[in-house]
Amino acid sequence: MKQSLTLADFQPLATKLAAGLAAAHDEITALDAATGDGDLGVTCRLGLQAVIESPGEAAGSLADALLKAGMAFNSAGASTFGALVATAVMRAAKVAKDGGLAEWDLAAIVAAGEAAIAGLQQRGGAQQGDKTLVDALIPAVGALKEAEAGGASLADACAAAAEAAQAGAESTTPLQGKFGRSAWFQERSIGVQDAGATVVAVVVRAVADYVNE
């Protein structure tokens, strides 16, 4: 069980995320096909593989590793989703760089998560309830922050975040899409869980499982 994440965790965590997304590939593809072009599962696979092959520990610092990972994901999985992931990861990298962080404890992870949300909202403008990935990310980071305030361990905080992200993803089902291809479907998007929010829920669960190992 881990109490912080360091540069040494970069590659094994990326591998854990890739495995989690691979297991959910068919679900993600089906959800994306229902209100989009159905390529989100492939985008995630290609993007995570590029992250795994990115410099990692060889980057020299946690900030540089994250920065290169964001660029690698966007390059391999070029799409609106890839650009959003890159934005979120690069904002998190800036937290590590500005703080001179060699490792992330729970407080640093909360700060990185809040920076990622701010970056996503500045880039795309989506708010909670708009049926996008932030519907899972905002409650996940909120759960982390609440856990931090309560003095929880990193493992317990991440477990709470995983539950919050899953609930957030499920909350998108009755909503009508307002952004991207989902918005084109208008009322027909109602009744389909948002694929991007589902990806976030899978990723947060994978992080929680990794931290708890």
Q: Is the pTM of this model over 0.85?
A: yes
Is residue 79 predicted with pLDDT exceeding 90? Answer: no
Is residue 181 predicted with pLDDT exceeding 80? Answer: no
Q: Are residues 63 and 92 in contact, defined by beta-carbon separation less than 8 angstroms?
A: no
Tell me how far apart the alpha carbons of residues 50 and 13 are, in angstroms, rounded to a whole number: 14
pLDDT at 211: 96
pLDDT at 183: 73
Is residue 64 predicted with pLDDT exceeding 80? Answer: yes
The DSSP element (H or E) to which 6 belongs, if any, is strand 5-6
Q: Are residues 177 and 189 in contact, defined by beta-carbon separation less than 8 angstroms?
A: yes
Tell me how far apart the alpha carbons of residues 154 and 148 are, in angstroms, rounded to a whole number: 8
pLDDT at 56: 81
Tell me how far apart the alpha carbons of residues 201 and 191 are, in angstroms, rounded to a whole number: 18
Is residue 92 predicted with pLDDT exceeding 90? Answer: yes
Mean pLDDT (the chain) is 92
Q: How far apart are the first and last CA of the chain?
A: 5
Is residue 184 predicted with pLDDT exceeding 80? Answer: no
Read off the pLDDT band of 37 (50, 70, 90): confident
Read off the pLDDT band of 57 (50, 70, 90): confident
Is residue 208 predicted with pLDDT exceeding 90? Answer: yes
6 phi and psi, to 5 degrees?
Answer: -120, 180
Is residue 187 predicted with pLDDT exceeding 80? Answer: no
pLDDT at 206: 97
